[in-house]
Chain A
Amino acid sequence: MPISDAQPQPSRRPLLEFKDVDTYYGELHVLKGVNYVVGEGEIVALLGGNASGKSTTMKTILGIVRPSSGTVSYNGAVINTMPTAERVKRGIAPVPEARRLFPRMTVLENLEMGAFTRNDTEAIEADKERVFQLFPRIKERLGQAAGTLSGGEQQMVAMARALMARPKLLCMDEPSMGLSPAFVEQVFDLIQAINRQGTTIFMVEQNANMALSIATHGYVLQTGEVVLAGSAESLRNNTMVQEAYLGGA
């Protein structure tokens, strides 16, 4: 049964909100009436095992999958049927699972694809410089085909590409996947840095500990239902989370 956060948080101004969202894949009921709130300026972590509905949540936010009932609202407007392109224009940018760079395009072209919906050429150039400051290693690889980068470098490019959209909300799907521990730490430091610059972050992550160490809020998803929700701290101390995800026991 869902355990809600004991204290309501009146200070949270929701940027993204799921209300009783149901999603189907063919005949499979994947999300079963889920509710999430992502407040402006927060880092919200969505935890859960494989096949719990995490990636479907991501796809629902981006409009790749449409909910069959319930509402998804962003910045105060219901966006259930809004096309993906429009969402990107309004500031939702993804760092997809397994990076999904365009492998035969150069790193620079990948970054430019991130700014696809924008037409403000000068501001784009400025953003490139901003991104290079965050990810200095990318600058050395601009002419290289993205498919030839190492896993860690690809993750950097994927994050940089998303930032090129100047997002309000950055949606990250398993940013730690397949990365070495040192790189994972670096990635999470960068996520915090990006967040400090004013970008709200919604992140799906299997590495519960890492995620909760930087998150402000968290949700735990199980077989398509939110079974736990609360501040990151309350989740870290929750025995169920500890047993299932933190390896406490």
Chain B
Amino acid sequence: MTFQDVLLQQIINGVSLGAMYALLALGFTMVYGIIELINFAHFNIFMVGSFFALWVMQAMGIVGQSTILWGFPLVGVLLIALVVTMLGTGILGVAIERLALRPLRGVSGTAPMITTIGLSYILFNLILLNVGADSKNYSNPLPQLRWEIGGATLRLRELMLWSIALILMVGLHYFVRRTKMGKAMQATAQDQEAARMMGVDVDRVVVITFFLGSALAGAAGLIFGLYYNYTSFIIGYSAGLRAFTAAVLGGIGNIPGAMLGGILIGLIESLGGQYVAVRWTDVIIFSILVLVLVFRPSGLLGAAAPSKS
């Protein structure tokens, strides 16, 4: 393979990873935008989502990669898995908000964030206890279609992944920009008390934000499984941290920023793995996290600066 082919291949891989990180980053950024909380539970809502999707597909009789579907059945199965998973993780997110985070609203300091760490641990271990520590083979009905572009390969799963991510992001953008609830979310993010004075039910806005963010994390969980053909109880942590880095890189609280940051982090991971060394990619990504926070805390596209002064 020539240099260009390798580069192209890594860009294809990077954009795929990036699309997944972007979906996950959106949840961080939306919740932060509304209630200024870094939600560590989000890491494992994503992981739980990948299991939900697996279970849904297994329930539909698709086990492993042997059942290949085409046409409407394929779209139908994926759509059902996607919708059920998103509903499931969305409800999980809402439950977490209602039961564990709402009582802490208005409590200053780090208590809410520490709570999300605890919640993340609980999700992580509940899955571990129920499915065990080994990775699980994923159900994947996608045909092994592939196209050669020069020396690089584009597979159907990448196209599928890109389209799911694109549709969801366009949908979210439309929701936030055009609907009344979306406007209420924007208003709440900009000035919570003023939004309340306009008659916005802020509690409801928070619930919907958690629902949407967690639903997107669920979609990312499904995508993870279809892309890597496995899932495991440990996938939440590293993917979550990368997605968080993406959110920070794009400008936390900024929805287009999360999408851009996600793609960039995906590219950094794939290109860094190719041209530096896989074992150093985490160091590169966390260094970006630290450097962005220190030198450009508002991120690439800007948002409320996280620095106090």
Q: Which residues of A contact B (CB under 8 A)?
A: 62, 64, 83-85, 87-89, 94, 96, 100-105, 109, 112-114, 116-117, 161, 165
Contacts and interface: CB of A to CB of B under 8 A. Distances in A.
A116 B186 contact: no
Contact of B190 (A84, A87, A102, A165): A102
B5 interface: no
B279 interface: no
Given A105-B186, A105-B187, A109-B183, A114 B193 contact: no
B113 to A, nearest CB: 22
Given A112-B183, A116-B180, A104 B190 contact: yes
B190 A62 contact: no
Given A112-B183, A113-B183, A116-B180, A64 B190 contact: no
Most buried by B among A62, A113, A117: A113
B194 A96 contact: yes
Interface stretch (B145-153, B198-206, B224-232, B288-296): B198-206
Interface of B, helix, strand, loop or mixed by DSSP: helix
Contact of B191 (A85, A100, A112, A116): A100
Given A104-B190, A116-B187, 17 more contacts: A62-B197, A64-B197, A84-B199, A88-B197, A88-B199, A89-B199, A94-B197, A96-B193, A96-B194, A102-B190, A102-B191, A102-B195, A103-B191, A113-B198, A114-B198, A117-B198, A165-B199
A62 B200 CA distance: 12
A87 B199 CA distance: 8
18 contacts: A88-B198, A94-B197, A100-B191, A100-B194, A101-B191, A102-B195, A105-B183, A105-B186, A105-B190, A113-B183, A113-B187, A116-B180, A116-B183, A116-B184, A116-B199, A116-B200, A117-B199, A165-B199
A89 B193 CA distance: 17
A166 to B, nearest CB: 12
Contacts of B200: 85, 113, 116
B196 interface: yes
Interface of B: 180, 183-184, 186-187, 190-191, 193-201
Contacts of B199: 84-85, 87-89, 116-117, 165
Contacts of B184: 116
A26 B196 CA distance: 21
Contacts of A88: 197-199
Contact of A102 (B186, B196, B201): B186
Nearest to A115: B198
A113 B193 contact: no
A84 B194 contact: no
A28 to B, nearest CB: 16
A114 B199 CA distance: 8
Contacts of A165: 198-199
A94 B193 CA distance: 11
B196 A113 contact: no
A101 B197 CA distance: 11
A116 B198 contact: yes
B126 to A, nearest CB: 35
A77 B187 CA distance: 29
Contacts of A87: 199
Which 5 residue pairs across A and B have the least CB separation, nearest first? A88-B199, A117-B199, A100-B194, A85-B199, A102-B190
A84 B196 contact: yes
A127 to B, nearest CB: 15
Contact of B201 (A85, A103, A161): A85
Nearest to A83: B201
Contacts of B194: 96, 100-102
Nearest to B304: A104
Contacts of A113: 183, 187, 195, 198, 200
A117 B187 CA distance: 14
Most buried by B among A101, A114, A116, A165: A116
Contacts of B196: 64, 84-85
B266 to A, nearest CB: 28
A96 B196 CA distance: 11
Most buried by B among A84, A89, A96: A84
A112 B180 CA distance: 9
A142 B80 CA distance: 43
B217 to A, nearest CB: 26
A84 B197 contact: yes
A94 B183 CA distance: 19
Nearest to A90: B199
Nearest to A102: B190
B70 to A, nearest CB: 46
A64 B196 CA distance: 8
Most buried by A among B186, B187, B197, B200: B197
Contact of B197 (A89, A96, A105, A109): A96
Nearest to B188: A102
